[in-house]
């Protein structure tokens, strides 16, 4: 993502901060492709671009959602997800434990896909309700 795109994302985010706060008010569990589209239509293309960089193998429909969580989610929520992923995937061949840093980046996104595949659920790269349930993690 080039610096001008990042600047555009930040400047637009500042203008729509109340909408971002509304989107995350109910927690990450309420951040879905539909809620991102409805709440942040002016940011959706930029968030989708960010999400495609973080999780390039995820379905295009979830790119904006991944981008929204990466850009705006609480570090504590993402750190909890990372801890749950580490526990669930601990003995999975090829899995390298995530650094629990609260950042939803490419390694976290790849671990989400690995966990979804292991659980036998749709591997779309989004840590939503189905993934949380498979990992016995309560999304807040």
Domain limits, the chain: 3-72, 75-134
On whether the CB atoms of residues 29 and 132 are closer than 8 A, the answer is yes
Q: Does domain 75-134 have CATH number 1.10.101?
A: yes
Note the pLDDT of residue 19: 85
Note the pLDDT of residue 100: 95
Angle made by CA atoms 67, 73, 79, in degrees to the nearest 5: 110
Could you list the mean pLDDT of each consecutive 10-residue stretch along the chain, which spans 140 residues?
A: 71 79 76 86 87 83 86 83 92 95 90 93 84 76
**What radius of gyration do the chain's Cα atoms show?**
14
2: left (phi over 0), alpha (psi -120 to 50) or beta: beta
């Amino acid at each position: 993502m080039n610096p001008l795109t990042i600047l555009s994302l930040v400047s637009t985010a500042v203008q729509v901060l109340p909408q971002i706060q509304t989107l995350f008010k109910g927690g990450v569990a309420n951040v879905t492709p539909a809620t991102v589209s409805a709440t942040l239509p002016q940011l959706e293309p930029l968030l989708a671009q960010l999400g495609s960089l973080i999780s390039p193998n995820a379905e295009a429909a979830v790119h904006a959602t991944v981008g929204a969580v990466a850009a705006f989610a609480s570090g504590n929520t993402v750190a909890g997800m990372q801890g749950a992923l580490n526990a669930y995937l601990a003995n999975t061949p090829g899995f390298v434990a995530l650094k629990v840093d609260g950042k939803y980046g490419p390694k976290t996104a790849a671990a989400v896909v690995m966990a979804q595949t292991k659980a036998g659920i749709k591997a779309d790269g989004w840590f939503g309700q189905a993934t949380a349930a498979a990992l016995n993690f309560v999304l807040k």
